[in-house]
Structures are given as C-alpha cells and as structure tokens.
C-alpha cells in the first residue's frame, strides 16, 4: 500500500524543509540554536484560519485551529519570521455556506496574506472562488474533493484528492477480504467530499470486481431521517458497510447499526477519524477500518515530539487534521521566510519543492495538489492503530 518515500537532501546534508526558522524536529524539541531578532515592535504577518468550530463538524475545525495555534505560538516565542511576529486570525465557518462567505470576506478585509482552511470540501468549494478572485492563497490541510483537482487558481492543499484514496481503499478491500459488495451511508451536507469520494470508490471497486449495491444519503443536521436510513442499510444485502460522515455522526450511525444486530465489516473515510469518533463510538467502533494520511502509530522522533507538545498544550493527542494543519502552517511560513512578498506567494508556493512534514515529505503539483502515502488503519482497544498489526484479520 505504501510507496517508498525518498527524502531529498540539501547541499549541507539536511533534509529539504528543515528550515531553522520553521518548526522542525529541532525546534519542536528545544528551540535551540536559533539566532532570531526580537519581533516586539515589528509589524505582524497576518494569516487567516477558517474552519467549522461549532456544530457537528467542530472536531475537525478545532483540531486544525489548535495545530495552527501551536506552531505559530512556538514560532512567535522564538522571534517570528525574519523578526516579524505571526498574527493568526481565526474564523468559524459553522459549516454553513452563507457564514463561510461572510467570514472569508472578513479575513480579506483584515488584510491576511494567506488563509489556512477550509477544513471540509463543501466549504473549500466556496472559499476557493472567493480567495481566487482576491488572489489570496487558500491552503487546505484536509480538503479531498475531486472537484477542485488540477485547477489554475489560488486554492492549494496538502491533502490528497479523494480519487487516489478511493482507488487504494478498493484495492485494499479486494486484496484482504472476499467482500464483493457494500452498502453506503453518506452525509449530503458535505456532498463535495462524500459524493466525490463515493463515486470514485464505486468506479474503482467495480474495477476490482466489487459493487456498491446501494447508497443512502442523510443530512447531519436533520438526523430524524437517520432511523429510516439505518433500517434500509440493515435490510440491504451486502457484505460490508461504508460510512462517509464526520466523526460524531459516523460514531452514532455505527452505534445504531450495532444495536440493530448488524455485524458486517465497516469502513469509513479519514474525515471520521477524530477523537469524537472514538469517544462517542465506544466499543461499537472496534475494528472499523479506513485509510489514513498519517500513521497514528508512528514512533518517529519528529511526530512524537509534536504529539507530546500538542498533548501538553491541549490535553489530548493530535488527530490527522491537527498534524496536517501544523504542516500547512510550517510549509507556508517556510515559503514566507524566503520571500515575504504576498504578490509572489502563489508562485513561491508552487515552486517551493519538497517539504519535510511531520511524518512524510510532500510537494505541490502544477496546480497546487499533492500526493501522499496512505496507511491502512483500524480501531483497536479505543485507539487508531495500524491495520497491519499482528492479529489483524
């Protein structure tokens, strides 16, 4: 499943992306040996963050916000970027189209030179238009929709388009089980993610001899119709269940499936893989499987250092959204450290080359998309662990 990750080296032997100004392993551990200028009186560099901080999708938004906050706090404590502090302006899109338009404009009015977010595909579809018209980069840590793939605009992402992940999920299921058909439940309130993902999976699964026999939509803010959808899923003949929803809703759906006596294997997308999924799912979500863009079992020094600092600051472990948002901010700051001119930021982001993330390196493609390794994961004993662990079936 994983592809070999060849890390490029700089002339002095350091890996690309390990800029002493930005948060790297050495900075995470000690912030030692940094010769930085005081930024007490300097004009701040304004960066926006926008995600859903309230409502049913708040877990993703809060994780992203906290990942961004941690990096910026650490950078500012050590002198900022070229002596300039970073000011993070945080907005809540409430996972609502009109609110998203309003807060995106507020960020532009505040004079941000770049925005980190949105955190869901449906909101990014809105933000991509607004920020592209303003020629201000919008860099999403978690948007997967295929609808924004290969567009020459001001939307960038460090999260892979869903078509690649969907193909790998279909391959994984086909190679590790006799499952030939699945039934799906998907949230249409984030249809840019769920329908894009489901359609891509259906095509790939069919190519491997499988089939999505039925797909039932639901709305996460109108869960009165979920009982009927659950009943329909239970009555549909299929050997597995695929759920595309946020962490809270996915957990509740699985709880209800288990209560109905349904014991079929369940797969989710990484959108569900948050602390809320584990907290509200409990024993019902044991052995649920998915593909992850981070290895949550990683023992690497850099990831463990970030995890330790995040836990100390926010009293919980970071999710994939926190890790990717931290990497997004680090990547953005590394580009700004070399050239702070916002007029050249789009060009500089696209030409930045390989950047060493907390778990794997990445670079933006011609139109600001990215490719990533994916890790098969499952829930075991209330934690996300590698699906390749000994004893996994």
Q: Token pair for residue 81?
A: 């970027």
This prediction's pTM: 0.86
**CB contact at 8 A, 103 and 93:** yes
Q: What is the pLDDT of residue 56?
A: 79
pLDDT band at 278 (very low <50, low <70, confident <90, very high): very high
Residues above pLDDT 70, as percent of the chain: 87
Nearest to 52 by CA among 183, 269, 248, 278: 248
Q: What is the pLDDT of residue 298?
A: 86
Mean pLDDT of 17-41: 44
**CB contact at 8 A, 126 and 97:** yes
Q: How far apart are CA 285 and CA 156, in angstroms?
A: 33
pLDDT in tens, 332-355: 999 999 999 999 999 999 999 999
Domains and CATH numbers, the chain: 25-160+298-373 (3.40.50.2300), 163-292 (3.40.50.2300)
């Amino acid at each position: 499943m994983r592809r070999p990750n060849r890390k490029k080296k700089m002339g002095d032997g350091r890996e690309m992306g390990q800029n002493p100004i930005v948060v790297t392993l050495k900075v995470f551990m000690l912030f030692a040996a940094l010769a930085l200028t005081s930024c007490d009186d300097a004009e701040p560099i304004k960066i926006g963050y926008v995600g859903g901080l309230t409502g049913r999708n708040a877990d993703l938004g809060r994780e992203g916000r906290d990942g961004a906050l941690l990096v910026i706090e650490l950078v500012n404590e050590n002198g900022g970027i070229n002596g300039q502090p970073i000011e993070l302006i945080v907005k809540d899109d409430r996972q609502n189209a009109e609110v998203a338009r309003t807060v995106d404009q507020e960020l532009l009015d505040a004079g941000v030179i770049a925005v980190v977010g949105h955190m869901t595909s449906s909101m990014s579809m809105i933000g991509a238009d607004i920020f592209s018209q303003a020629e201000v980069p919008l860099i999403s840590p978690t948007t997967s929709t295929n609808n924004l793939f290969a567009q020459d605009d001001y939307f960038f992402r460090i999260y892979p388009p869903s078509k690649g992940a969907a193909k790998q999920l279909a391959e994984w299921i086909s190679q590790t089980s006799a499952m030939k058909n699945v039934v799906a439940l998907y949230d249409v309130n984030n249809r840019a993610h769920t329908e894009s993902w489901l359609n891509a999976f259906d095509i790939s699964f069919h190519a491997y001899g499988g089939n999505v026999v039925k797909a039932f939509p639901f709305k996460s803010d109108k869960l009165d119709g979920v009982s009927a959808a659950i009943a329909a899923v239970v009555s549909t003949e299929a050997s597995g269940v695929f759920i595309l929803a946020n962490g809270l809703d996915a957990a509740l759906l699985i709880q209800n499936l288990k209560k109905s006596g349904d014991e079929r294997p369940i797969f989710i997308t990484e959108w569900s893989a948050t602390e809320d999924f584990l907290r509200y799912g409990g024993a019902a979500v044991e052995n649920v499987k998915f593909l992850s863009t981070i290895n949550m079992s990683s023992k690497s020094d850099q990831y463990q250092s970030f995890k330790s600092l995040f836990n100390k600051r926010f009293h919980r472990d970071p999710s994939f959204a926190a890790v990717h948002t931290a990497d997004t901010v680090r990547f953005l700051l590394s580009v700004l450290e070399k050239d702070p001119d916002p007029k050249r930021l789009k060009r500089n982001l696209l030409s930045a080359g390989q950047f060493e993330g907390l778990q794997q390196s990445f670079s933006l493609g011609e139109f600001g998309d990215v490719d990533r390794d994916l890790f098969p994961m499952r829930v075991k004993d209330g934690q996300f662990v590698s699906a390749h662990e000994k004893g996994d079936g």
